[in-house]
Amino acid sequence: MIEKYSELIIRYMLLLAGFAIIDYAARQIEGEAMQYFEMLPTDKVYFALAVNIGLSLILNVITAVIIQRDRKRLIIEAKHVLWITLIFRELGVCAFLLYAIVNEKSQQEQLPQEEQPA
């Protein structure tokens, strides 16, 4: 059991770290692009918002798809975690991991009750 969830936690930790690096690199490129091109101050704000919101949405959708795949594989009923992930990636991943651990513990508690003779 511990190996199963440590593998799952490590996978999502690496996923979030990789996405944080991508987000940081995109912000650095965005800053250089705004210095290179001559833009009005309002255009800079719109450009920065478009890059930040667009990239965050794309990374959130990718994370939600990965969570959906793992949710079906582990047979976890937590559909609202996908909506949380679309809004805030880190919170969705934490909620999914908590649901996975609670689901496993509830399944383990049900097994001894079923094995006992009535």
Give 89-114 pLDDT, tens digit per residue: 999 999 999 888 888 777 777 766 65
Average pLDDT value over all residues in the chain: 83
* Overall number of domains in the chain: 1
Stated pTM of the model: 0.78
The answer to whether residue 65 scores a pLDDT higher than 70 is yes
Q: What domain range is 30 assigned to?
A: 2-115
Q: Lowest-confidence range among 4-13, 64-73, 103-112?
A: 103-112
Residue 99: phi and psi, rounded to 5, are: -65, -40
Residue 16 to residue 88: CA distance in whole angstroms: 12
The answer to whether residue 67 scores a pLDDT higher than 90 is yes
Start-end of H helices in the chain: 2-36, 41-74, 80-87, 89-115
Q: Lowest-confidence range among 2-11, 23-32, 49-58, 102-111?
A: 102-111
Is residue 115 very low, low, confident or very high in pLDDT (cuts 50, 70, 90)?
low
Query: In this predicted structure, what is the pLDDT of residue 87?
Result: 92
Asked if 49 contacts 27 with a C-beta cutoff of 8 angstroms, the reply is no
